[in-house]
Structure 1
Amino acid sequence: MRYDVLIIGGSFAGLSAALQLGRARRRVLVIDAGQRRNRFATTSHGFLGQDGVPPGQIIATARGQLARYATVEIRDGAALGVTGDEQGFVVETDGAPAAGRRLILAGGVTDTLPEVPGLAERWGKHVFHCPYCHGYELNQGPIGVLATGPMSLHHAQMLPDWGPTTLFLNGAFEPDAAQLADLARRGVTVERTPVAGFFGAGADIRLADGRTVPLAGVFTLAQTRLTGPLAAELGVDIEEGPLGQCIQVDAMQQTSVAGVFACGDTARLAGSVALAVASGTMAGTAAHRSLIFTA
């Protein structure tokens, strides 16, 4: 079978794109490796109507709703490679290859976390990247910002709205005089002693001099890279930002390669569930329109 649209990635953006196309009665295949970026988080926040719901539950509900659309198929598995152009694409999977007229990349990104003992196992539970997603639940308790570079300054400047904030420089950078003055204005404590690791079962940080700093939660900026090989194989334009990679798209989520769209964290340097759903909606409708007006 040749599908109208192949969607790589079955998380919030990919399923949102599939919903628009299914409602347009187009034949759609979603290829999903099951590696949601927020799979480590117990609850999702900031998405209207779903605030506080476990992200896996949102996805399960979405899959159940998509099952009502006879033209939408979801295949569990990884997309391993791609060939083709605007006349048609073939995606190699760990099952049978799939062919489609259009392609939507929604495979997300992979986070590379700071190498601090105890951080990885706390990711999504006590250590976060998005204040809007997790800051409120810290109940105005003490918050840490673990610096990974100059961009962490913005994290530290924002977070006092959610609780008293300490910026742990950890040798990542040194704020200049103006930046230090602004941090002081925001009430941020600057800690220059290196971080030895996390202490206990929560977010408390142990410093190299033996002190322990009790914290309700910690925020840090991970480096990101695109998940999977398809973007590179297609030759779409990729933006290299201070925090990692994303695919360049226009307002309609169209990439630099005709017939290829991208959405979700794949196509923006900062993301959330709500933004992923919005961009997936746009990618799905744009792919549908391209089938009509440029067929």
Structure 2
Amino acid sequence: MSEKNQRYDVVVIGGGAAGLSGALALARARRSVLVIDAGSPRNAPASHVHNYLGREGTPPSELLAIGRAEAADYGAEVVRGEVVSAEKVADGFRVVREDGSVLRARRLLVTTGIVDELPAVEGLAERWGNEVLHCPYCHGWEVRDMPVGVLAASPMAVHQALLWRQWTDDVVLFRDGRPDFSDEEYERLAARGIAVVDGEVAALEVADDRLTGVRLAGGTVIPREAVVVQPRFTARSAVLEGLGLRPTELTVGEHVVGSYIESDAAGATAVPGVWVAGNVADPMGQVIGASAAGLKAASVINMDLVTDDTDRAVEARRAPFSAEAERQVTERVLGDRRHGLQETR
């Protein structure tokens, strides 16, 4: 294992919108920053980012490339790789990468995101981010007025169907063997013209690289051009768990829909010196929200470091006088002028 002497004010684990936004702000605050990017952003299958003011319709890869360049312009380092572990040590954190190299950090900002766990329906994963969707605010406009199917993969299915009805009047809800809906739910669905199809969903039908329908176990195919599914949002929390931070269940009403890492409003976790931002802390957040969370965490991290720097300076100032202490102060204040190498005015 290669033990390097590289030490950073902040190591950012995760190179998505949250991590790069935090890195940019910290680099502009003249902090030494390293971003370690695994290169597997959650929205990689999507063709465009939406609801990001000023960047509407930008491809995700392009947005991240812009972010990496902007952070690098201010001195942040961005490298590709995985972090296999992080541990708290006396002077901060010891971070181990997959190549065995070891880095030191005074603070950590973890923006590792989540994994979208999909139901085991043939063809579903292959069309994820294309015609298989979950967020109407991200993709509703793109499938407006199209035949949309909602797969009842969670107890939120009726809610999803009613929500997507805002973008199209052709919505079909596939019950897929889930418990029957209540009379009130059926009434609400009927009032909005949403049909309910019983029977198990076997697969998605695709032709010419386009979704064409939903095939039931009995062989019947219901023509659809988009399918909505509720994935389980699972936090990418391995590094954080190694630091003692366990995921918390994410619930909507009484229903568990995923997991996340708890933090305060600025992303500070229960482990001093560790912040989180983006989907690992807010699984339902969109890209613009993740970016804002990274900025907010960065500002608090910098203030925390300022406090630490000041505490250290006060401690040094109160230390007993020594020739070495005097030399360090003179060097810091006067620099080359101490040797008469720089003209004074």
Asked if Structure 1 and Structure 2 have the same fold, meaning a TM-score greater than 0.5 normalized by the shorter chain, the answer is: yes
Moved more, 216-225 or 124-133: 216-225
Say whether the 8 Å CA contact 2:26–2:33 is kept in structure 1: yes
Q: How far apart in 1 are the matches of 2:159 and 2:53?
A: 25
Q: Which position in structure 2 is the counterpart of 1:255?
A: 269
Equivalent residues in 2 for 1:95-114 (5 A)? Answer: 95=99, 96-114=101-119
Amino acid of the structure 1 residue aligned with 2:83: A
Per the TM alignment, residue 209 of structure 1 is displaced from its structure 2 partner at its CA by 2.8
**Runs of 5+ unmatched residues, structure 2:** 1-5, 251-255, 310-345
Per the TM alignment, residue 85 of structure 1 is displaced from its structure 2 partner at its CA by 5.5
Amino acid of the structure 2 residue aligned with 1:279: A
Listed one character per residue, the Cα deviations across residues 189-219 of structure 1 (whole Å, up to 9, x for unaligned) are 1111211111123332112232222222111
Equivalent residues in 2 for 1:124-273 (5 A)? Answer: 124-163=129-168, 164-201=170-207, 202-203=210-211, 204-227=213-236, 229-241=238-250, 242-273=256-287
Of the three residues 98, 114, 136, the one matched with 1:94 is 98
Q: How far apart in 1 are the matches of 2:269 and 2:174?
A: 38
Amino acid of the structure 1 residue aligned with 2:290: A
Q: How far apart in 2 are the matches of 1:49 and 1:221?
A: 29
Q: Which position in structure 2 is the counterpart of 1:22?
A: 27
Q: How far apart in 2 are the matches of 1:139 and 1:150?
A: 24
Per the TM alignment, residue 86 of structure 1 is displaced from its structure 2 partner at its CA by 7.9
SS in 1 for 2:228: strand
Identity %: 39
Aligned residues: 294
**Runs of 5+ unmatched residues, structure 1:** none
SS in 2 for 1:166: strand
Bigger-Rg structure (1/2)? 2
Q: How far apart in 1 are the matches of 2:187 and 2:73?
A: 57
Larger RCO (alpha carbons 8 Å, 6+ apart): 1
**TM-score normalised according to structure 1 size:** 0.95
Moved more, 94-103 or 129-138: 94-103
Q: Which position in structure 2 is the counterpart of 1:5?
A: 10
SS in 1 for 2:299: helix
Q: How far apart in 1 are the matches of 2:192 and 2:298?
A: 42
SS in 1 for 2:206: coil
Q: Which position in structure 2 is the counterpart of 1:73?
A: 77
Per the TM alignment, residue 87 of structure 1 is displaced from its structure 2 partner at its CA by 4.1
Q: How far apart in 2 are the matches of 1:43 and 1:244?
A: 24
Listed one character per residue, the Cα deviations across residues 218-260 of structure 1 (whole Å, up to 9, x for unaligned) are 1111113222511111112521121211111111111111111
